[in-house]
Amino acid sequence: MQDRDRDAEGRARNARPRDALGRPLPHGAVGEDRAPEGIVREPQVALAEAQALLDAGRPFHAHEVLEDAWKSAPEDERRLWRGLAQLAVGLTHAARGNDPGATTLLERGAGNIEPYADRRPHGVDVPGLVTWAHRLAAEPAGGRDPAAGAPRLLG
């Protein structure tokens, strides 16, 4: 049995390189630069980094930034950040051509952010994102270009 990749704290981490959509590549292959995990960012920094990654067609990597924000967010914002991360994963599945996975994650993400529509924390365009997610979930993905379908997080 092969040893699992571990980080400095001994937690299991997959060190395999990944492509732009987060799919693992063989060990030794040249992959995309990954967003560092476990970074605590100010909300505006996390949103800006995630938007840049979405615009570059790297929704899987945007998800990692948003997941860090979710894990470090105050309790009353965790559902928002979890939903944003789910939207990025939904776009990842759409780009990979996984229609069922895209639909599930987009609808779940929309449901998690929708309660914030009136507050719009940190300038997040919750109503626009909910509309975007429902529209994308209703369309067959078929390997869509993730940069062309990238949502606007702020509005």
Q: Is residue 54 part of a domain?
A: yes
Q: Is residue 151 part of a domain?
A: no
Q: Is residue 31 part of a domain?
A: no
- Output the tens digit of pLDDT for each of the chain's 155 residues: 455 565 566 655 567 888 778 778 888 888 877 767 778 899 999 999 999 999 999 999 999 999 999 999 999 999 999 999 999 999 999 988 889 999 999 999 999 999 999 999 999 999 999 999 999 999 876 667 778 878 999 98
Give the Cα separation of 135 and 90 in Å (integer): 12
Q: Is residue 103 part of a domain?
A: yes
Contacts of residue 122, defined as CB under 8 A and 6 or more positions apart, other chains included, come to: 43, 44, 47, 154
The CATH number of the domain holding residue 107 is 1.10.3450.10
Q: Is residue 114 part of a domain?
A: yes
Instruction: Give the residue ranges of DSSP H helices in 30-125.
Output: 43-55, 59-72, 78-96, 99-113
According to DSSP, residue 152 is labeled: P
Q: Is residue 3 part of a domain?
A: no
Q: Is residue 21 part of a domain?
A: no
Domain coverage including residue 124: 43-138
- How many folded domains does the chain comprise? 1
- The pLDDT of residue 56 is 93
Q: Is residue 120 part of a domain?
A: yes
